[in-house]
Amino acid sequence: MKKKDVPQDFGMADGISEVCYAVDDDGKYVLVPSGGWEPKNITLKQAWEVLEERVSGVAKRVEAGELSPLAYYMVKNQMNVRLLSKYVNFSRWRVKRHLKPVVFKRLDLSVLLRYADLFGISVEQLCKMPADA
């Protein structure tokens, strides 16, 4: 794609742009900022809406006492049990148990620290839902 043909269909959030490779007038590849391409922007917006719905649904289940706060942070960070278990080096079975509120409340501080470090939050934050959730 030539430099002048790089799509500029601004639609990404708050002026965020991406960088694309394009060919300049001399035939060399250069980096060109792009506001996006409308179909791609629409798809990204839809994907974020789906993620927000998932996070909201999990937040409601945590508040209802069906899941531990760990489930909220897992979904908010776009993880599933398999990925989370690999990051904290626990078995999937163990992570699934930690998603149960009764089990989560009894977790050792060292286990909570592994999860909190992964999410970049304190243990206190991990043990409760954020106010804006």
Digit-coded pLDDT (tens) for 34-51: 877 778 778 888 988 999
**DSSP assignment of 15-82:** G--EEEEEE-TTS-EEEEEE-B-HHHHHHHHHHHHHHHHHHHHHHHHHHTTSS-HHHHHHHHTT--HH
Give pLDDT tens digits along the chain (133 positions).
788 778 777 765 566 778 888 999 898 999 888 877 778 778 888 988 999 999 999 999 999 999 999 999 999 999 999 999 999 999 999 999 999 999 999 999 999 999 999 999 999 999 988 877 6
Topology annotation, domain 66-126: 434 Repressor (Amino-terminal Domain) (1.10.260)
Task: Give the other-Cβ count within 10 Å of 20's Cβ.
Answer: 17
Whether the predicted model's global pTM rises above the 0.85 cut: no
Structural domain spans, the chain = 3-36, 66-126
Alpha-carbon gap, residue 31 to 52, rounded angstroms: 32
Residue 95: closest CA among 116, 76, 81: 81
